[in-house]
A and B are shown apart, each in its own frame.
Chain A
């Protein structure tokens, strides 16, 4: 395909992106990228050859990890291009790479279901694999299908560098064929990983990690490791001093620190210092002032693993809690997952069930022994909640809607 066509694709796409932005319909990269790919399907391959590309994927934490890696590289005075939140499929990646920029490191968040579509044309020098768990069942199908697709990527090029979480059996199986640096992040969620990805027999867990009861599949020895709030690199034990909350962000930061040290030769100490000032990632941990003067923090939880992490973090805080759940496709249409989450952790707190599926939440809370009131509007719910401040935990479409209302 000619240069002229690629150039035309980029020009028309940028124009459409600009139109989308000024009409307030979106950030524009996604729309622009879609049009560019329609005009020149080979565009991504050409764009990929201009930058050093790394792709970050996971069920949970890919947005934050991508942002942390980008900030570390910038602090090390490396030019960075990255995609906007949510623009993590082929169109969003195209839009980001087509924006005018000098040759850089492209740090790209990629949807776990779209990884093959992005990796094949871009041929990234590094893949960063966080975790794989059940996410919105009725949309994405089975975790095992995603694992198989990831595995075809590593099998296709065993020389490619992969930085992967050695505590997650799905991620390990997907990464094994490649040249892997392992980081043990610990896995708080083993529900989806009870059978061996290699032979389907049962996995067993011990102090040495997981191991298949039938075949040779087992947890690999880690090069780096997360231990509580500390990042362990050989003899070095470095405190992860973060401004973003929760165990899950410690895991994201440990993954980013491994990328910095093992791939970019930026010492973990330097990387961790660069991450320490990050407070808000795409509205994810943002704080807002409520009408009654109290502070509300909005937290996105997308799936049972994510909810479990957030609820464990809430435990012990003196804050009211709003649980805001919708059931659109992006949230998962089936609300059964509410029973996979330990809402029992909210016992004794001031809790409001909210969102379009407030009644599903309220009934779940009843069986968890948690008293609550029902208010479908999350902002009214926040005002109704007690506590010195309020944490609003929201499913995906509730979260995106809320952050728009706050800004």
Chain B
């Protein structure tokens, strides 16, 4: 029962076995092949141990508990009888007296049924059952001598009627049947040994299987995650994060479930089924076939149940997810619910959802309440058939009693795996769907093409050139048209323009989140497409409007920009961007956990933190998208000075919103509808009396308006 993280997969129906998909898994299976083989062997061993137990009971009953012999007399046999004797001579034990033989119950069963019937009919085989005491030196024969009236003595041994056994006292019985009791002890000992072995086999198998399955899943998960992480940004724009997360977690989990409880246990179930079928056939062919006749109805019932159970389970899961969403939303928005006096209304809505869940739950109960008894009824039917037909066979000596008892035991074990298979079919089906989705994702080829021969990165100066760059996210909707500009190393370019003018696209292209449609983006004179993307990006420090913090400590968030940064470097970066003040005032300072579940920081603090993150890495190039949200004035001031320190000596491109930033820039680029409208210094642009001048005047007027109220 895995938690649903607000995301339910639309499950299409797929076939439970898709060998092409399975084949692709082999690459992941290979490192674990020996473990898997070992697991399979353990399963066979454990199953064998399990199957041996009823057989041991059978042996105990037939060989040591209910041992009986019948007397066969052949004093004046006709021709047919003589032939019969010749045919199955080995089955009869000579009594040492002419024409008298003993026939054990076990051997009687081996007799051809026709022959047995003929013997019975001719009166040669007497129905009376005897216990045979072999004539060996020992205490057993003493009992015979002590009770001459009860025994018929033959040279080979003495016979006592089965019904007369109870006329002996306990000590006599003990002496008489010491051999049987010793045999029972042996069986009990074997039984214990089998049990202990079975336990170890089972335990080892479960742990090994879990280990194999989990490790394999982990490998696939890492591969998938790596694949997702290296997809282009346009891929991530297209794919909702929730879906990708579900692939990496839930789908892999489904797969693990399959590897674990299906792929190998399926094997076990089939093995048990086949094993039991073989044993049953071996014990008695006809009765076995009669029992198997119940298979089709069982399969039909389980098939129907499987579908119903899956549907209702899905429905229930959906309802639970809805309830959880409603619940968490109402808790998260409790103030709004209360202020808007929605308590009653929402309670009613919730009660409706809750009742739907109840109804689905009841449906599930009903489905199980019908299915479980049905299966049991069918297995009782099997038991009835065995008692009836098996009983008849015992009467006609075609089967021993122990065989019937064993048959009952095996038949009961027979139906369990079938019930399990129904369950596993569903798991298998959903795992196949997951597998299809996982490979579908792995097949995505949307990473940016790496350079064929990556140019080694020269010592970077940080000069940036856009050479007639055009770009469109979607074909036919150009966002940038023929944009050209050059930022000399160490200088600052401010980009201004309306929302949608293409400011962010310039950043995206510089970082090579996307590739240009036409033109070139050059860094130090080299096309970014010729550079190794990772090396290229590592020279650029990016600060985005919405600062993204990972859950972790402040320190970890700052050193995201560089592995294992020494503490003094982190501290000096924080100090340089005015972040040290607020960080040190936190209860745990640099070790304060932030982000999801941690302390929440203000917009301004987050901004400062992202400055520190970039500064700690000391990149040649700085790319910054200024925050638009209004921040209280003191923090604003801190940010401004931090920014000045950040840009000093670095090539910087800033999407600017603050007047101060714009005025301090070496160059200002005015972007209008994807084109460069004007470019130059603040003074130059003002003197142009163009767009920038116009905008500046507007801002100036706004300020004057404010002054006017004074």
Instruction: Decide whether A and B are members of one complex.
Output: no
- Give chain A's interface residues, CB within 8 Å of chain B: none
- Give chain B's interface residues, CB within 8 Å of chain A: none
